[in-house]
Structure 1
Amino acid sequence: MNMDFNLSISQEQKLIMTQQMQLSVKILQLSSYELQKLVEKETQENPLLEVKYGEENKENTLDYKEIIKYLEFDNYNHSNVVRNEDEEVSPFTFISEKKSLKEYLKEQIRDLNVKDSIRIIADYIVESIDERGYFNEKLENMAKVLKIPVHMIEEALKIVQGLEPDGIGARDLKDCLKIQCRKKGMVDENLYLIIDNHLEDIAENRYNAIAKKLNINVKESQSYGDFIKTLQPKPSRGFYTGEEVNYIIPDAYIKKIDKEYYIIMNDNVTPRLTINNLYKGIINGGEDKEAVDYVKGRLDSATFLIRSIEHRKSTIYKVLEKILCIQREYFDYGEKFLKPMTLREIADSLDMHESTISRAIKDKYIYTERGTIKIKNLFTTGLTSKEGNESLSCLEVKKGIENLINEEDKNNPLSDQNISDILRGKAVNISRRTVAKYREEMGIKSSKGRKRY
């Protein structure tokens, strides 16, 4: 056996993500709300960091040149974001406090003329209602916990189910729908049979199957289905349940002033960090080497965090500049004028990687004259016309599909192939599969599911 050991040198390129690089990438893709949470955490852990908001930023500008002499830092250049400091940014929305569903139910219970014992049990049931408005607990288990007869819980549950909104306190979806039917005075036996046995058939528009099972005609079964679709499957809807976040913080405002659009970064909600001057005394003193090393480490971390936040802001600004340039007509005239635009197109024009653009727009919003818009929604692929020009965005094509479906004969709805053929006749080069994809994205059912009898 020939065993030959050789020592050789080879050169290869590797990209190693340091912790600081990972932090920079993470900060770039955070939403404003998530960034605030991160800053709160960092300021609690790093005593050198101080957070400033709004007008305070003007009085405290970080002097990087003063700090950098204490640090060994890789080159990490960022261009500054230019904004008009005199431009007043007014709050665009106010968050009103929603009334809690449970508070609303308890208010109704307080007004009822019932025994105190039943009222207490009803309150207990309300506390057990889930985010949908359903009551899922087993009555026997609750009876054991409260050490009361089951019939008392049944009585209290009946009271809760009689409250508004209709369907509250239901045991499941079928129970929820039947409670609403009873409160509307519906006594038709077929209606309750359909709820018990044919909800899936209604969802799939299988009215022939329902008609055959109940020995009624198809038009009658469809009428039952139409009524059931008017009922509320989630009675908690419209009330605060603690499960939802109902506000959005835009990263920037797009304002039109004298026929020109300006990007105003939202400094009122984006945290601006400064560094406590305490570090100078500790470093310049130099008596306690351990303290100096600790402060330098914290200073390194703080400075990188500040630069990463500025880099995030700068990148978003650059991306918005390019979007404004491409989508000027959209901002002027609306969704119909949204042009096809891809991440690669923006990335190439800014000499950045496509993944950087993707992170920069992730969960980011802008406030415009047309409302608050998710930046990601401005990116659409285009469809090639028969002439070979990529002139239509997918939003325009979706609108065309939606219009065709709205105008179709519901007794004989258009198939995906029909829609494809019609659009091709209008010089839109689109396949049946793409029609199906766009239709499903819009939540529109197939021709079978749209058929009316």
Structure 2
Amino acid sequence: MNFGLNLIQEQKLIMTQEMQMSVKLLQMSAYELGQYVSKEMQENPVLEEKDLHNSKNNNNDAKDYKEIIKYLEKDDFKVKNYAVKAENEEVSPFYYIAQEKSLKDYLVEQIGELTENHEILEVCKYMVECIDAKGYLSVELPDICKELTISSEKAETALKILQSLDPEGIGARDLKECLKIQLYNLALDDDNIYKIIDEYLEVLAENKYNVIAKELKLTISEVQRYVDIIKNLEPKPSRGFFTGETVKFIVPDAYINKIQNQYFISMNEDVLPKLNINSLYKEIINNGKDEEAVEYVKEKINSAMFLIRSIEQRKNTVYRVLEDILVVQREYFDNGPQYLKPMTLKKIAINLEMHESTISRAIREKYVSVNNGKVIKIKDLFTNGIASVVGGEDISTINIKKAIKEMVDNEEQKKPLSDQIICNRLNIEGMNISRRTVAKYREDLQIKSSSKRKRF
């Protein structure tokens, strides 16, 4: 054992705070970026939205802005190679979105129209607050009785009132009760269908109609008629209502328009406000009397400059990726989804001499609007391919899935196609695919196996 001092040379990539922020901004969706910029404008007094109506002020602001940068560079403050353009663009219009009525609001409105005992109706309103995202009552009745110090009879009465409201099945405590409430409303009094729901839901899901038929002494056709009724019921009463869950707004990052057989990409400039540096802070720096204030302003200007630069870099990266996608997927934009070509992150990364992770971040939660107004997710344009036996070109997995779905849609219901038969047909059409891959794609499409698709 000995002690020594050794000199080792090695290379490391250390992510600075600015680099981390740049990566974070790149992978934000347009809506998330808008929210982030709004938050930064509130926290950073140096940032302001440009006054695009006053071109004279714009020119003066640009001049002041350059002077600030010049001053900071003299003071060894590293903000370089960035200039502000005086732009005369129209301000994007404001969109006012009405508040969406929630499921709970809808239920409370119905309760307000009832004439039952006031205390019972208050219990109903309490139960409304206990309804989960599916529309089920998420709290046990004994717990409600204990919390409100009421009898079980009052709780049962309130629950019956709640379950009589629209939408049908609301306030059920589980799936079975939800389905039975809907059957009551249909005035179905056949004991067999209620017995199937109570005792054979799991068997029904496996399509084992013969088991149900044998145990209930019914024909398979009779069982199938009952099952058809059950499958038409709504297992999630809250469907179609706003339940307070987070809503993701889709805002396109760019527009792709075809003009005279040529496609043009234009970035969505209405996503963000036009950012500028507030010229009032120039006086604080030029004055220079309060060193603490000067340092504070420098720090805030540096943060603002980095944000503006990162947003511009994000826009350029997304534009370059879209430009290359347009070259690869020209036939898709011309003729539709059936012409989508296999395209991977690696392929675009090589073309643009970028890392795959950068491409992945650049397309994350990003959307584009094409000429007909259709908004598409950029990520959906990326798909792997399977080698074609005929022609030599790879076939997109999306097209293979489409072929599988068409086969299943057109199959004979009494004798559905097995995965092996689908595999054989696809191979005849030149798609080099295995039975296991067919099963995987079928599950991706949420298509049941042939045994579960069989009609009797």
Instruction: Give the TM-score taking structure 1 as reference length.
Output: 0.90
Change in CA separation of 1:6 and 1:280 when aligned onto 2, cut-off 3 Å:
same
Query: 1-side partners of 2:432 and 2:327: how far apart?
Result: 27
Query: 2-side partners of 1:342 and 1:58: how far apart?
Result: 48
Change in CA separation of 1:90 and 1:374 when aligned onto 2, cut-off 3 Å:
farther
Can you list the C-alpha shifts for 1:276-304, whole angstroms capped at 9, x where unaligned? Answer: 11332122222222222222122212111
Q: What SS class does the counterpart of residue 389 from structure 1 fall into? A: coil
Contact 2:51 2:57 in 1 (8 A): no
Letter in 2 for 1:140: P
Q: Which residue of 2 aligns with 1:338?
A: 340
Q: Is residue 159 of structure 1 aligned with residue 157 of structure 2?
A: no
From 390, 401, 405, the equivalent of 2:404 is 401
The Cα of 1:67 is off from its aligned counterpart by 4.6
Query: 2-side partners of 1:57 and 1:235: how far apart?
Result: 56
Q: Which residue of 2 aligns with 1:34?
A: 32
Q: Which residue of 2 aligns with 1:43?
A: 41
Query: 2-side partners of 1:279 and 1:54: how far apart?
Result: 20
The Cα of 1:316 is off from its aligned counterpart by 0.8
Query: 2-side partners of 1:219 and 1:253: how far apart?
Result: 53
Work out the number of aligned pairs and report it: 448
Change in CA separation of 1:52 and 1:90 when aligned onto 2, cut-off 3 Å:
closer
Change in CA separation of 1:35 and 1:89 when aligned onto 2, cut-off 3 Å:
closer
**How does 1:2-17 map onto structure 2 within 5 Å?**
3-17=1-15
The Cα of 1:52 is off from its aligned counterpart by 5.2
Query: 2-side partners of 1:79 and 1:213: how far apart?
Result: 80
Q: Which residue of 2 aligns with 1:133?
A: 135
Q: Which residue of 1 aligns with 2:250?
A: 248
Range with greater deviation from structure 2 (141-150 or 418-427)? 141-150
Can you list the C-alpha shifts for 1:199-225, whole angstroms capped at 9, x where unaligned? Answer: 222222222222233222323222222
Q: What SS class does the counterpart of residue 134 from structure 1 fall into? A: coil
Change in CA separation of 1:154 and 1:305 when aligned onto 2, cut-off 3 Å:
same
Query: 2-side partners of 1:106 and 1:383: how far apart?
Result: 54
**How does 1:19-30 map onto structure 2 within 5 Å?**
19-30=17-28
The Cα of 1:347 is off from its aligned counterpart by 1.2
**How does 1:109-120 map onto structure 2 within 5 Å?**
109-120=111-122
Can you list the C-alpha shifts for 1:110-146, whole angstroms capped at 9, x where unaligned? Answer: 3333233333322222232222111122223322333
The structure, 1 or 2, with the larger RCO (C-alpha pairs under 8 Å, 6+ apart) is: 1
Contact 1:84 1:264 in 2 (8 A): no
Change in CA separation of 1:379 and 1:85 when aligned onto 2, cut-off 3 Å:
farther
Q: What SS class does the counterpart of residue 237 from structure 2 fall into? A: coil
Query: 2-side partners of 1:37 and 1:99: how far apart?
Result: 23
Query: 1-side partners of 2:80 and 2:221: how far apart?
Result: 70
Query: 2-side partners of 1:354 and 1:300: how far apart?
Result: 30
Contact 2:169 2:182 in 1 (8 A): yes
Contact 2:332 2:338 in 1 (8 A): yes
Unaligned 5+ runs, structure 2 = none
From 324, 327, 333, the equivalent of 2:326 is 324
**How does 1:430-449 map onto structure 2 within 5 Å?**
430-449=433-452
Query: 1-side partners of 2:105 and 2:285: how far apart?
Result: 56
Q: What SS class does the counterpart of residue 293 from structure 1 fall into? A: helix
Range with greater deviation from structure 2 (307-316 or 100-109)? 100-109
Contact 2:62 2:84 in 1 (8 A): no
Contact 1:405 1:413 in 2 (8 A): yes
Letter in 2 for 1:394: T
Query: 1-side partners of 2:180 and 2:280: how far apart?
Result: 68
Change in CA separation of 1:247 and 1:270 when aligned onto 2, cut-off 3 Å:
same
Q: Is residue 414 of structure 1 aligned with residue 397 of structure 2?
A: no
Contact 1:78 1:314 in 2 (8 A): no
Change in CA separation of 1:47 and 1:236 when aligned onto 2, cut-off 3 Å:
same
Contact 1:251 1:270 in 2 (8 A): no
Contact 1:420 1:431 in 2 (8 A): yes
Query: 2-side partners of 1:419 and 1:117: how far apart?
Result: 62
Change in CA separation of 1:152 and 1:4 when aligned onto 2, cut-off 3 Å:
closer
Change in CA separation of 1:429 and 1:85 when aligned onto 2, cut-off 3 Å:
farther
Contact 2:385 2:394 in 1 (8 A): yes
Query: 2-side partners of 1:449 and 1:31: how far apart?
Result: 40
Letter in 2 for 1:283: I
Letter in 1 for 2:422: I
Letter in 2 for 1:398: K
The Cα of 1:94 is off from its aligned counterpart by 8.4
Change in CA separation of 1:451 and 1:176 when aligned onto 2, cut-off 3 Å:
same
Range with greater deviation from structure 2 (6-15 or 191-200)? 6-15
Unaligned 5+ runs, structure 1 = none
Can you list the C-alpha shifts for 1:250-282, whole angstroms capped at 9, x where unaligned? Answer: 111222333332222112123432211133212
**How does 1:346-385 map onto structure 2 within 5 Å?**
346-368=348-370, 369=372, 371-385=374-388
- When the two chains are superposed, the root-mean-square deviation of aligned CA atoms in Å is 3.0
The Cα of 1:65 is off from its aligned counterpart by 4.9
The alignment-based identity, stated in percent, is 54
